[in-house]
């Protein structure tokens, strides 16, 4: 039994799975630039517009820029490993596929189930954030009444006035629309995403360019605050300043980088994956890191850190409030930020739904999930039944569960996947030394080992509560694996 649990799927079988039994496969329509845009679309969103202010207020002040660099370093180390594997094994499934080829079926199932935390739960969480910010858009820009509290909050939430939530209709709406768009086709989805990316990047560049002249040096003095503790308005204590504060900021803003690995899930729909996948992964990460550091430098220079600690000015609308406070005459820019945030959230949801459906597609083809997840639409060549099933899962979570329930679970799922990808590179170099690799991770095994250490350190910083939640989630996954997946595995049927 142990041998079956850790049986690996041969690279020949993995590569052959790019075409199904009837000779059909998903359309290869994506280019290097499409993948870069896909990565930017996944990365720039809630992290840049929301987490930057939170990390500055709670952990590092102006030194949040250093936190971004630390988080980017961890992502870059994993990204180099992703680039090698995605160019060598250009098949849908991302970390799940790589793990199946190197560490066996059980760990492949674990990482596939774990990726649900990153993609499906992440998409629902961002959908809830989209719903929250929609009211700001309706009131501040459209001059309309907000969505009533009961119809934009879950049944587990109650307003200060005692109004109870019923269901989150805006979150349900945006998740449904984007799922249907993915069913229509990856190329069409990429086109919409490209347009959104252009809008988001343009707004970010405008804030950096126009806001630079309004930076007050006093707000950056000292750039690295002395180590102390900060108790927020909810009574939570944070390490502020010093090394611990910067590391805390790195853990907070890591969420801002989640998404670049989703590029690798589209390998089977890429025209020249061996060349394009490394460019898409590392290119999107590099562009976003540059924008993040410059954006954070400007934002923390506009207003003092106390501004972001004010609950009436913080939260979702921190960036808008900072522009209104420090840049008089630029109300049009603050309104543009509101639009950009809504667009940003939309593109993040789009790419997360894409990533989730492609992981389930691969798991279904291996027999670990029911066959419906890998059935392609006769016209659009997309896994439409899988998209619909995921739509139900994500929509239920988005409509009926508060966004703060999952906490840092999305980050844990992502970091765990990063660690296994780094290990996969080391193992595959030993087991398949002659495998064609158009891109090679430099300094193996040093870079993958550093990637494991960096990601492990960030996981350690997420705390006991999140480890317990991860354990419960994995326990549910093991029940499904031993109850269904192991019995239906196509790998064992071929043994």
Per-residue pLDDT for 389 more than 90? no
For 319-353, what is each residue's pLDDT tens digit?
888 998 899 888 888 888 888 788 778 877 887 88
For 195-234, what is each residue's pLDDT tens digit?
777 888 888 899 999 999 999 999 999 999 999 988 876 6
Flag the least confident range among 297-311, 406-420, 451-465: 406-420
Quote the pLDDT of residue 21: 42
Quote the pLDDT of residue 186: 56
Q: Domain holding 444: CATH number?
A: 1.20.1740.10
Task: Report phi then psi at 340, rounded to 5.
Answer: -65, -40
For 20-78, what is each residue's pLDDT tens digit?
444 445 566 677 777 887 778 767 766 777 778 888 988 889 999 999 998 888 888 98
Quote the DSSP letter at residue 141. T
What pTM did the predictor assign? 0.77
Per-residue pLDDT for 1 more than 50? no
Cβ atoms of 143 and 102 closer than 8 Å: no
Domain range spanning residue 128?
A: 2-493
| Domains identified in the chain, total number | 1
């Amino acid at each position: 039994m142990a041998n079956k649990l850790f049986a690996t799927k041969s690279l020949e079988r993995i590569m052959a799975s790019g075409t199904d039994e009837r000779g059909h496969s998903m359309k290869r329509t994506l280019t290097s630039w499409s993948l870069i845009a896909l990565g930017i679309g996944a990365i720039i969103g809630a992290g840049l517009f929301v987490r930057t202010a939170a990390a500055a207020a709670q952990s590092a002040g102006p030194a949040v820029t250093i936190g971004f660099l630390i988080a980017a370093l961890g992502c870059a180390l994993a990204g180099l490993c992703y680039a090698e594997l995605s160019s060598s094994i250009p098949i849908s499934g991302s970390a799940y596929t790589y793990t199946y080829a190197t560490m066996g079926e059980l760990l492949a199932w674990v990482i596939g189930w774990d990726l649900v935390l990153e993609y499906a739960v992440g998409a629902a969480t961002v959908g809830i954030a989209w719903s929250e910010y929609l009211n700001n858009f309706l009131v501040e820009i459209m001059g309309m009444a907000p969505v009533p509290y009961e119809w934009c909050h879950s049944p587990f939430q109650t307003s200060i006035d005692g109004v109870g939530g019923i269901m989150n209709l805006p979150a349900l709406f945006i998740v449904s629309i984007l799922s249907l768009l993915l069913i229509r086709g990856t190329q069409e989805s990429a086109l919409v995403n490209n347009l959104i990316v252009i809008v988001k990047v343009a707004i970010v560049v405008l804030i950096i360019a126009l806001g630079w002249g309004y930076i007050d040096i006093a707000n950056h003095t000292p750039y690295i605050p002395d180590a102390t503790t900060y108790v927020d308005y909810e009574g939570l204590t944070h390490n502020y300043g010093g090394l611990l504060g910067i590391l805390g900021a790195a853990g907070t803003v890591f969420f801002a980088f989640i998404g670049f690995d989703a590029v690798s899930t589209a390998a089977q729909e890429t025209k020249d994956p061996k060349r394009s996948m490394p460019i898409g992964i590392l290119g999107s990460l590099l562009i976003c890191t540059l924008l993040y550091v410059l954006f954070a430098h400007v934002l923390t220079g506009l207003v003092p850190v106390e501004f972001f600690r004010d609950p009436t000015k913080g939260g979702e609308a921190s960036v808008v409030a900072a522009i209104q406070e420090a840049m008089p005459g630029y109300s049009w820019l603050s309104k543009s930020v509101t639009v950009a945030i809504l667009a940003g959230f939309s593109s993040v949801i789009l790419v997360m739904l894409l990533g989730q459906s492609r992981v389930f597609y691969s798991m279904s083809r291996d027999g670990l999930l029911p066959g419906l997840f890998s059935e392609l639409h006769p016209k659009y060549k997309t896994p439409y039944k899988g998209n619909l099933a995921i739509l139900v899962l994500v929509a239920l979570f988005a409509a009926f569960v508060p966004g703060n329930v999952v906490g840092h679970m999305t980050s844990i799922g992502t970091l765990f996947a990063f660690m296994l990808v780094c290990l996969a590179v080391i193992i595959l170099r030993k087991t398949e030394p002659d495998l064609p690799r158009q891109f090679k991770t430099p300094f193996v095994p040093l870079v993958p080992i550093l990637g494991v250490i960096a990601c492990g350190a960030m996981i350690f910083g997420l705390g006991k509560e999140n480890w317990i939640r991860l354990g419960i989630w994995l326990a549910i996954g093991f029940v499904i694996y031993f109850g269904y997946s192991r019995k239906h595995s196509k790998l064992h049927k071929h043994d």
